[in-house]
Chains A and B, each alone.
Chain A
């Protein structure tokens, strides 16, 4: 469960987020949709406690991102924009390292790692060093790493960019599976089809503001179109993109 209320984040003179509020519920997949530089990554970074908001409140599973960052990180799995794997460690070692830093150890850690390697069909590559991985293999290991502690909430930053069709399907199946388990999934994208194919709820963000949010059906109704892509373009255009923000 993610609850964001009136978040503001400035980098020097640039305001990346101004008064952003939305929620992402358990058992649902929520898409954070916006153009490049709209503030998606900044919002996710505030949630993952890497950035502190200048104003407003962000909560993950009832824990405040500013006052209880460790509790937030414990219930959060994060898939960053760059996979950030360690090239000289094997896939398995990458997963184990994150497991250990989450406080797992011994047989429990090995079991959790084996399960994820099996579920993500990483058996053939888990023993190889990450430097030779394909884009899809990197994503799978990064996903396994983010899920090693069975987080209640998972946030993913542009997870599908640069992936082939098979990898995208694998990812969708996995996210639906997590939804069925009652987890909260929030992912960002700048591709409307991507969000439409998967999401129960959509939050459209433009120039650091939430311009529209709701189920796909509600969004179509609010913009008066029958096409989600058209709805996205119209909603984004409501806010003149006068201010850029770092991606």
Chain B
């Protein structure tokens, strides 16, 4: 790096570190926003899951006097049976308006029909449109089916038959998901937040060093100095890149701290997020920095004022985010071809890393080369833009 580039780089860094607005947005708000939002979201989800699993299932039962054995079975299985006096229409109304999450109705002739060997009627009033109560409904249903199966087995045995006769199939799930894999959707958000905070870190520098410098009238005297414009531009972009890299690193570190407070295991997930993974994620994503810095600088160089630059750059922030959002919601799997798409390749590699999946070296090579090449092209365009006379506005 030439002395000129170093001088420009240092001056931009010092000047922007003294600007409170720049520092707050790059190293505080941008960095904290993602991890804090993420941790809050995860805490809420995992607390609710934990609560549902630990608490006894509260089951209001109408006509509880008709089925003492069934109720004893339910109580044994951790159900808090609450006898209520409700007709069917009242029960439906109570579930619909949320008084109860679900109601079990036992008919008067339950005992009679059970004794006679014909199907004994039970009605479970549930609201399948309410996702909050769905786990409770499913649990109640499972218990009732279990009781039915138990009765059927007893009946068969009393007739000298094996209960297996009514179990022609034995279906078992073999779950291949690693605990971290189950949290794929949420983990995908981490790379999204990291990329956004990286770009936010360079946002004001890209504007300040181009449109801002022109607007304040400091660009013209700068261009009368005996240095090549390419060197000026290089120093400015390096400063932008440095801010972006620092923002990225801080965000990953804050994620590491924030996730250690979230009981992910309660969700059946494990976040593979130790210091080594954080460093590896940084290594994968920092490759995007030159491309991001070039993109922000090129767009800011086209604008006539800082205000205009802010408007355009806010839109530009969405460009690298779009492939990530697509991948998160469609569950895209990494392929060699997709590694040629900058931002998407960083997302896929980082996600694999978080899941603990093996990463083919070819994927890393393709991602590295294509992203760096795109960054070089954009930086070259930014330098070209500064050779024009019109850059003075």
Contacts and interface: CB of A to CB of B under 8 A. Distances in A.
Interface string A166-183: 000000000000000000
Contact of B225 (A79, A101, A129): A101
B389 A101 contact: no
Interface string A83-117: 11111110001000110111101000000000000
A98 B217 CA distance: 15
Contacts of A76: 224
Contact of B7 (A45, A48, A89, A100): A100
A64 to B, nearest CB: 15
Interface stretch (A13-21, A25-33, A49-57, A192-200): A49-57
- Name, among A85, A97, A142, the residue most crowded by chain B CB atoms within 10 Å (CB to CB): A97
A101 B227 CA distance: 7
Given A73-B226, A101-B225, A105-B3, A50 B220 contact: yes
A37 interface: no
A80 B220 contact: yes
A102 B225 contact: yes
Contacts of B220: 45, 50, 80, 82, 84
The B contact surface, by secondary structure, is helix
A74 interface: yes
A247 interface: no
Contacts of B216: 82, 84, 87
Contacts of A84: 216-222
A73 B7 contact: no
A225 to B, nearest CB: 37
Contacts of A105: 3
Contacts of B15: 86, 88-89
Q: What range describes how many residues of A lie at the interface?
A: 35 or more
Given A97-B7, A103-B226, A88 B19 contact: yes
B224 A48 contact: yes
A89 B14 CA distance: 8
A78 interface: yes
A59 to B, nearest CB: 16
Interface string B204-235: 00000000000011111111111110000000
B149 interface: no
Contacts of A52: 389
A50 B392 contact: yes
B119 to A, nearest CB: 82
- Name, among B8, B220, B222, the residue most crowded by chain A CB atoms within 10 Å (CB to CB): B220
A50 B229 CA distance: 11
B335 to A, nearest CB: 47
Interface string B11-35: 1001110110000000000000000
A28 B148 CA distance: 111
Contacts of B228: 70
Given A50-B392, A51-B389, A86-B15, A98 B218 contact: no
Contacts of A45: 220
A49 B224 CA distance: 7
B16 to A, nearest CB: 8
A86 B218 contact: yes
Given A73-B226, A74-B226, A97 B11 contact: yes
- Name, among A71, A81, A101, the residue most crowded by chain B CB atoms within 10 Å (CB to CB): A101
A128 B223 CA distance: 25
B4 interface: yes
B328 to A, nearest CB: 39
Contacts of B392: 50
A86 B223 contact: no
Contacts of A88: 14-16, 18-19
A140 interface: no
Given A86-B15, A88-B19, A101 B221 contact: no
A76 B14 CA distance: 27
Contacts of B3: 100, 103, 105
Given A50-B223, A101-B225, A103-B226, A85 B218 contact: yes
A145 interface: yes
A29 B59 CA distance: 99
B13 to A, nearest CB: 11
Nearest to A45: B220
Contacts of B222: 84, 101
A168 B303 CA distance: 36
- Name, among B217, B220, B221, B227, the residue most crowded by chain A CB atoms within 10 Å (CB to CB): B221
Contacts of B217: 80-84
A197 to B, nearest CB: 26
A26 to B, nearest CB: 20
B225 A98 contact: yes
Contacts of A103: 3, 226
A50 B218 contact: no
Contacts of A145: 221
A205 to B, nearest CB: 20
Contacts of A80: 217, 220-221, 224
Given A51-B389, A88-B15, A88-B19, A78 B221 contact: yes
B208 to A, nearest CB: 10
B353 to A, nearest CB: 39
A109 to B, nearest CB: 11
B236 to A, nearest CB: 13
Given A84-B220, A93-B14, A101-B8, 7 more contacts: A52-B389, A80-B221, A81-B217, A82-B216, A84-B219, A98-B221, A102-B226
9 contacts: A45-B220, A50-B224, A51-B389, A73-B225, A80-B224, A84-B220, A101-B7, A101-B227, A145-B221
A-B complex: 5 closest residue pairs judged by Cβ atoms: A82-B217, A84-B218, A73-B226, A100-B7, A78-B224
